[in-house]
Structures are given as structure tokens and as C-alpha cells.
Structure 1
Amino acid sequence: MTPSEPSPFSPPSSPGRSAGAVDSAAGAPPVDALDSLVLHATDNGVSWITLNRPDALNAVTWDQRERLIGLLADASADPGVRAVVITATGKGFCAGADLRGGPSSGERTGERVAGDVARMIRRGAQRFIAAVLDCEKPVIAAVNGTAAGIGAHLAFACDLVLAAESARFIEVFARRGLVPDGGGAYLLPRLIGPQRAKELMFFGDAVPAAEAERLGLVNRVVPDGELAKTAREWAERLAAGPTRALALTKQLVNASFESDRAAAFAAEATAQEITMSTADAQEGVAAFVERRSPTYRGR
């Protein structure tokens, strides 16, 4: 990380709310302001993406979602990026979508017509979550505080979830008279089963980090002060791994719930065929034979 880049877990040095942190009803912020609301830095092979609207508990606008989608696509295409961390500043990881409306949230400014909401969900929340699931690099969520609504689904879509002790997860949709969006009804049953998923979605109760870990929504809970350190350790360990093998492993696991045994076995065999041709696989085998630690280069 260069000296001019912001720390992944800290807001920019200028105090107070960024001039670009406008209410969504006021219109889209300019590009430089948007960059200050979604911080980005690449360090030691890790792409750090940090939501930075702490005064709004990091509720995301349409523009912020688009920036995250773009950064995740960039991570997939960049051979210098071998792992991704998504985190946030302040006391909230992500309080969900900014519902105040306006052009920057992707909502129509004229009269609503049939299909508008479905189109908005497909173009916004669902693309957002799909970008995480489809990222070709391992993605870690470092959940520093409240993750609600699509903010919870953003965390659950990540490959690994670290949570600070103060974090909590809330399926807020039923509280608002809504059904879950952003892939919630797809993600939760696969993580914790249909009965538990329905309990969380029907009641909308806050789930503390320790309970989330017990349910299987979180890989590990750490003290608040150790979240950044642990996230860095995990991310750098992933970044030092066999990148293509991890990408194919992610694809196999994500597809497993939609595959029958024959399809899953065929996909596994094909993935292994591809992996065996990589330089990292050759290095892994050579290191095993030579009784040394492998040095993977992501190729």
C-alpha cells in the first residue's frame, strides 16, 4: 500500500462527513466523492474494499453498489489481486440499501409502472450479491458492526465471514412488510437450513455475532480490536495460495446445491483437469516431493 492510499479500516484523513456523502435524494455524488464513500486499496495481493458512510451506518446507495460491483470485477481480472476483503468504517458494516429514493438509488423519477420494482431489484440488489458470489478471487467479509438487510446478505455471500464481537445480523425485511431481496432466500437456507432461515426472516430479530457463529453464518468471532489484524492474516494467507485452484474450488462449492451427483462429479473432474495444468499445481506437487513449503504465484 502506498503512503497516499487510505488505511483499509480507516476513513480518509479529512474530518467530518465527506462533501460527496449526499442524501440519495440529492443526486449522485461526483466520482471523487464516491471514491471517498467506498475506499479501495491493494496491498500485498489483497484488494481492500471499505464502505465509508459511518454516519449512515454504511447504508449503500445505487452508486456505491455500482462501485463495489466494478471493484469486484476488477479483482477478478487483475492477476495482482489474489484475495478480497470487504469491510466498513464506524459502528455499522452495512445497514442495508439506502431507501430514500432518487436517481442515485436507481429508482424511477416518474410514475411507477408494473415491473419497475422487479427490474430495480434485478439491476441493483441481485447484481450486487452476484458480484460477490461470482468474483474469481476468495472474498472475506470483515463485519465490524451491524449488518442488516442486504448488508447481511453482502456478508453471507462472501466466502469467509469474520465478525467482531459487537457485530450483529438482522433480517429486517419482514419488519418493513417486505420479502427478503438481494438473494437472502437463496443464501440463508443453504447456510443454516430452511427452518432456521425462516425463523430469522419471519421475526427479524437481531442475531449477535456469537449466535451467528453457532448457527454457521460466521466462520469466526474475534474481539473488536483484533478484526483488522485477523482479516489481514486470513486474506494474506489466501493471497499466498494457489489462486486458480481456489477460484475453481469456489465455483464447485457454489454450484453444488444446484447440481446432482453426476453433474457435480463431472464438474469436479473438469476443474481438476484445468488445475493440473497450472504452474501452481506443478509447484505444489514438486514441493511435496521435495519436502518443502510451496511458493504459489497465482498462475
Structure 2
Amino acid sequence: MSEHVEIVDVEGGVRRITLNRPEKKNALTGAMYDAMREALESADASEAVGAVVFAGVPGIFCAGNDIADFVTRAENAFSDAPSLRFIRQLARTKTPMVAAVDGIAVGIGTTLTLHCDLVYASPAARFRMPFVELGLVPEAASSYLLPRRVGRLKATELLLLSEMFGADDAESLGLVNGVIPSDMLLEHATAQAARLAALPRGALTASRALIRGDQALVDAALAAEAEAFDRQLGSEEAQAAFRAFLAKAKPGTKA
């Protein structure tokens, strides 16, 4: 577990996973990925948990990977990285998932939401996927899921040019269900999660599987991305991008 991930089961059969590392803008370390993965695994195994809510602290959802931690772990194969283990669990989790996005959502902070069943954002939400400019490739099956959601041309713009987009744009693209005032966001997301948790479990699970489609296609995208990511991670262009990022970043700044 990680001190920077708070896991609480609240009323209504809802498990809330809260990223709480505000001094680093909720940038994710290996330990944080492991804590989230274990929370999802145990949610699937629990009769008491009917839905999961991902949240951050007020004004900060997730700034992506902690680059310093990521570079240190890059000495090992990406195929065994905590981030990839979490992503694989995220894609196969059977418990409905809801995201409450307030503030920045960078990298995995955005791609995580593609796997959620409901996504709500505050007016302050800002989404961005800067993989290519870091010498990497998209992850979390975003190369497959995003074009299906927004079309190939828009997905190309967001994934290759790393365009930032706000809550209203995300809603118009079909990436969030609604824009909710910041002070009501977590309450609203939790209430919607409780509605899901209260539904007949068998019908909910079967309907969710039908809506999400062929899991094998998502798994294939994950595998292809992981292979390309591993290859790029060791490339000079990625290492140069990391060095440049760390050289100009203030302590605690992340991508």
C-alpha cells in the first residue's frame, strides 16, 4: 500500500480511491500504482463493493507519472512495471468505475478515465496526454479506445500533438458525462457510483460487458502498446526528453 493513496469504503457499497500527494500534483509512483491495483483487485473479490470512485485532492486529479521515479524504474523491463500491472487490472476490472476529475489530468490521469463507466469533471479540469513529446507512445489502450470515442482525426490531435482540453471540450467529445461544480463533484460522483452499486449485480455485470465490447481487442491494444512503450523507453529520444524535462522542472513538477 501507499501513504499517498487513500482507500475508503463509504456508504452505498462504494469504494473511493483518492490520490493524496498534492505536493507532487498527485504524480504516481510505483507504490501508488500498486495500491490502486490492489484496491481494484479486492473490489472485484468483494460482495460489499459495488462500484469504485477515483478522485484526487481539490484542484488536482493526477499529473501522470512521477518522472524521477519512472526514470529510476526504467532500468527494468516495462512489462513488469507497476504502472503496466495497474493498467492491465484497470482494463479487466469488473466492478463499475467512476472518475471525479478536478484540476489537471495528465497522461494516465486522462487515459485512466477511458476505462471508467462514468466520468464527471469540474470546470477546472484540464486533460492532456503528452506521451509522444516525451519520446513515448500512448498507453492504457488509449490508441484503441480514444479513436473509437472521438474519431481518428481528433484522437490524432490529442495523442500526437498533446493538445490540452478542458471540461467543456471533454463533455462535447463524449469523454465526460457532465461538468459539475468543484464543491459538488465528489458528492455527485459518489452518488452516481452508489446508484450503480444498488443495481442487480448480475444484470449490471452482463450489461456492462455488452456495452464495453470485446475485451480481447482492448487486451491486444495493451499488449501492442506495452511492446512499443518498452522499445521507446530505452531509446535515446526518450532518455533525452526525460533529461530535458528533469533539467527544467522545478522540484516536484511532473508530466
- Give me the TM-score of the superposition, normalised by structure 2: 0.78
In structure 2, which of residues 53, 69, 77 is the aligned counterpart of residue 101 of structure 1? 69
User: Is the CA contact 1:133–1:158 (under 8 Å) kept in the aligned structure 2?
Assistant: no
2:57 aligned with 1:83, yes or no? no
Residue 6 of structure 1: aligned partner: none
Q: How many residues align?
A: 216
Q: Greater CA deviation, 229-238 or 78-87?
A: 229-238
Residue 171 of structure 1: aligned partner: 129
1:181 CA drift (Å): 2.1
User: Is the CA contact 1:46–1:83 (under 8 Å) kept in the aligned structure 2?
Assistant: yes
Rg larger for: 1
Structure 2 unpaired stretches of 5+ = 218-255
1:165 CA drift (Å): 0.9
User: Is the CA contact 1:128–1:182 (under 8 Å) kept in the aligned structure 2?
Assistant: no
- The alpha-carbon distance between structure 1 residues 132 and 47, as it changes in their structure 2 partners (threshold 3 A), is same
Residue 7 of structure 2: aligned partner: 40
- The alpha-carbon distance between structure 1 residues 122 and 212, as it changes in their structure 2 partners (threshold 3 A), is farther
Residue 70 of structure 1: aligned partner: 38
Residue 211 of structure 2: aligned partner: 253
Amino acid at match of 2:154: R
- CA–CA separation in structure 2 for the residues paired with 1:161 and 1:38: 20
1:138-149 pair list within 5 angstroms: 138-149=96-107
Q: Which has the higher contact order (CA 8 A, sep 6+)?
A: 2
Cα deviations across residues 2-25 of structure 1 (Å, max 9, x unaligned)? xxxxxxxxxxxxxxxxxxxxxxxx
1:102 CA drift (Å): 6.8
1:257 CA drift (Å): 7.9
- CA–CA separation in structure 2 for the residues paired with 1:257 and 1:192: 19
- The alpha-carbon distance between structure 1 residues 250 and 123, as it changes in their structure 2 partners (threshold 3 A), is farther
Residue 58 of structure 1: aligned partner: 26
User: Is the CA contact 1:57–1:92 (under 8 Å) kept in the aligned structure 2?
Assistant: yes
- CA–CA separation in structure 2 for the residues paired with 1:106 and 1:182: 18
User: Is the CA contact 1:137–1:246 (under 8 Å) kept in the aligned structure 2?
Assistant: no
User: Is the CA contact 2:30–2:69 (under 8 Å) kept in the aligned structure 1?
Assistant: no
- Give me the TM-score of the superposition, normalised by structure 1: 0.67
Q: Greater CA deviation, 189-198 or 71-80?
A: 189-198
- CA–CA separation in structure 1 for the residues paired with 2:174 and 2:20: 27
- The alpha-carbon distance between structure 1 residues 144 and 238, as it changes in their structure 2 partners (threshold 3 A), is same
**Structure that is richer in helix per residue:** 2
1:51 CA drift (Å): 0.5
1:280-291 pair list within 5 angstroms: none
Cα deviations across residues 73-122 of structure 1 (Å, max 9, x unaligned)? 0000000001110111142211111110379x6433xxxxxxx5xx3156
- The alpha-carbon distance between structure 1 residues 102 and 134, as it changes in their structure 2 partners (threshold 3 A), is closer
- CA–CA separation in structure 2 for the residues paired with 1:121 and 1:192: 28
1:251 CA drift (Å): 2.0
1:145 CA drift (Å): 1.4
2:141 aligned with 1:183, yes or no? yes
Amino acid at match of 2:4: L
1:254 CA drift (Å): 2.3
1:182 CA drift (Å): 2.8
Residue 60 of structure 2: aligned partner: 92
- CA–CA separation in structure 1 for the residues paired with 2:132 and 2:70: 23
- CA–CA separation in structure 2 for the residues paired with 1:63 and 1:71: 12
Structure 1 unpaired stretches of 5+ = 1-30, 109-115, 260-299
SS in 2 for 1:181: coil
SS in 2 for 1:101: helix
- CA–CA separation in structure 2 for the residues paired with 1:257 and 1:235: 22
User: Is the CA contact 1:54–1:91 (under 8 Å) kept in the aligned structure 2?
Assistant: no
1:126 CA drift (Å): 3.3
